[in-house]
Amino acid sequence: MELKRVVVTGLGAITPVGSSIPELWENVLKGVSGAGPITHFDASKFKTRFACEVKDFDPLKYFDRKEARKLDTYAQYAIAAAKEALENCGADLDKIDKDEVGVIFAAGIGGIQTFEQEIGYYYSNLEQGPKFNPFFIPKMISDIAAGQISIMYGFRGPNYSTASACASSTNAIIDAFNNIRLGKANMILAGGAEAAITPGGVGGFNALTALSTRNDDPAGASRPFSKSRDGFVMGEGAGCLVLEELEHAIARGANILCEVVGGGMSADAYHLTATHPEGIGAILVMKRALKDAGLNPEDIDYINVHGTSTPVGDISESKAIKEVFGEQAYKLNISSTKSMTGHMLGAAGSVEAIISVLSVVNDIVPPTINFTPGDEDPDIDYNLNFTFNKAQKRIVNAALSNTFGFGGHNASVIVKKYSK
């Protein structure tokens, strides 16, 4: 069976550094940090009191008040990103076959805001007996964003959610890629959303000692590959990519941004939350993505790394890159855009894949911010080009995006310039 080619024709994003694709791209190139004091709840007694929150998001721009009340914030972000991606792709929804359009949308956690609110209400009203909002379950479950998007537009193709912690939305993109190239759909909206900056989300990650506690310097707290890094900064939002079968895209006159050429998946099989110190799973996943794409290490110009700003993770990923890419590791660019967006958990892979697409389209690599000379980690090889503090122009023919999740889940996707 001959596999079909898959291209990207639309992008949409809601992020801590921009609630549209143009705003996101402008700010990551400028090196803008999305971090600041938490406003979603009173975090004054928490170890970590800052995060990368989405700013000025107005659900009433997308839904009426009644509809908005039926949606957890994570699903609102997902629908908003999908709306922009569909507008961006230019498809006439009255002319395409909606039976052949799918939605695969990830969430690592899902409706945690709804869960906390409903359970809190239950325990504060125990004497009155159990009473729950009838939309409690539909608002909370992690597949509902995919379902809501399909309902809104009438898309009847493959429809589900992927959950692999912080690798979730990269898995969604890979699944969409595979469904299309196997002929199971003509177009799929793929991405992820998360809204877990809540007492439970922040408190839970604090209990794991996973979050930075640099409360006096939120904007400088996410500092991947710096010796003084002390944990990740929580982010939130959503990213959506429209993946499309090449001939279908050409037939409708679509603006083709780039081609998706490969995806890899692996497991560390090592630890509940920590990456393998030697990057065993990371090595496997990047090698598998390259093999799937039919590319060699020297074909990759840019890697958008997982790069969470955690003590062990940054070291193991840099080791893995050197192992997989050899001499090319010193010629390609590396950057962690989590230094600006924070770690968007289940949405991270989609937004980082979008940034990788934009790098291929525009031939520029966004920076890893917050590195200061003198803050070098002796366990990291600084002959690698981490694109510290300033965007760098270069030809980007192909880019690889890495995401690794709790549980040892690893996923990598490769995009490259489209050519006939």
Contact between 239 and 200 under an 8 Å Cβ cutoff? The reply is: no
Secondary structure element (H or E) that encloses residue 86, with its range: helix 73-89
For tokens 């640099």, name the residue.
214
Computed from CA positions of residues 371, 375, 380, 381, in that sequence, does the dihedral angle turn out positive or negative?
A: positive
Written as six digits, the tokens of 294 are 């039919």
Is residue 166 among the annotated active site residues?
yes
Secondary-structure breakdown of the chain: helix, strand, coil percentages, each rounded to the nearest 5:
40, 20, 40
How far apart CA 85 and CA 176 sit, in angstroms, is 15
Nearest to 73 by CA among 241, 177, 201, 228: 201
The one-letter code for the residue type at 353 is: A
Q: Where are the beta strands (DSSP E) in 343-383?
A: 364-365
Catalytic residue from among 40, 248, 276, 306: 306
The span from the CA of 38 to the CA of 48, in Å, is 9
3-state secondary structure 288-345: HHHHHHCCCHHHCCEEECCCCCCHHHHHHHHHHHHHHHHHHHHCCEEECCHHHHCECH
Decide if 326 contacts 355 (C-beta within 8 A). no
Helix/strand/coil for 69: coil
Report which of 419, 368, 417 is spatially closest to residue 396, judged by C-alpha positions.
417
Residue 276 designated active-site: no
Per annotation, catalytic residue among 40, 248, 276, 343: 343
> Is 306 one of the annotated active-site residues of the chain?
yes
Looking at 166, 240, 258, 276, which residue is catalytic? Answer: 166
* Residue 37 · residue 44 · CB < 8 Å: no
- Provide the annotated active-site residues: 166, 306, 343
